[in-house]
Amino acid sequence: MASSCKIGPFNPKELSFDVYLALFEAHVATQDITDGGKRKNQLFVCIGTKMFGILANLTAPAMPTTKTYDELIELMKNHFITKPSYHRSLCSFQQRRKVEKETVKELYADLKRLAKDCNFDTTLDARLRDQLFMAIDSEPYFKYILAKDLKLEALTSSAILEGILVLEKAHMGEGEMANSSSSGTTVHKVHSETMSKCKHCGFPLVGLKTWNVTFVVARVI
C-alpha cells in the first residue's frame, strides 16, 4: 500500500470539498484502503498541514486523531460546503444569459451547474431546455427560432442544444468553410442550394436543414 497521497492537499479556493472528497475516495479505493482507521490516516496525509490545522480547530478541544473517519468527513462537509438558498439559486439560474465569446456548450454546462440547487427534480430537463432557449435571446439567430413553429416544448434540452449549435455554426460561417474542401464547382453548387438569408435577421442560413432534421427525429423518439 502506498503511504503518500498523489492527489495533492485540499485547497477550498481551487476545488469544492465534495469534489475533493470524491477524488480522495477514488484514491483510497485504488489503494485498497477499506479500514476506517487507515482511511482517516490517509486523509490526514492528503489534506495537508494547513487543512489539518483547520480540522484540529473543528474538533477542539479533542484532536482529529480521536475522531472516526465518518465524523471527520461530516465536520468538513458542514464547514466547507455551504448550500446557497433556493431563491438565490433560482434567480441565478433564471438570470443567466450567454456572454460574449462564450460557446453554447459552455453556457449549457453552466446552466446545469446552476440548476443543482434549484430543486427542479423531474422538471430539470424542461427547465434546462427553456432557460437555454432564453439565454441566447441576444444572438442574431434567435429571431429565426422564433419565426419557426418548432414545438420547443416537446423537445429535450439536448435536442435544443444540438439545434442551436447548428445555428451557431451557420452564423459563424463554419458550414460554408466545410464545403470549401470540395472542388470549386461543387462548392458553388452547394452554396447556391443551401445558402439563403433569414428574412428576420439577415444572416446566411447555412446548415439549417440539418437542424430541422434533428428536431424531427427528436420529436418522433
Domain ranges of the chain: 17-80, 85-136, 139-221
Q: What is the pTM of this model?
A: 0.50
More confident residue, 9 or 189: 9
- Report phi then psi at 3, rounded to 5: -95, -15
Output the pLDDT for position 162: 87
Output the pLDDT for position 182: 46
Beta bridge partners of 182: none
Q: Is the pLDDT of residue 177 over 70?
A: no
Q: Is the pLDDT of residue 219 over 60?
A: no
- Please give the average per-residue pLDDT across 172-177, as a whole number: 53
Output the pLDDT for position 181: 47
Q: Which DSSP symbol is given to 121?
A: G
Amino acid at 34: T
- Please give the average per-residue pLDDT across 148-152, as a whole number: 67
Compute the residue count for the chain: 221
- Please give the average per-residue pLDDT across 144-149, as a whole number: 68
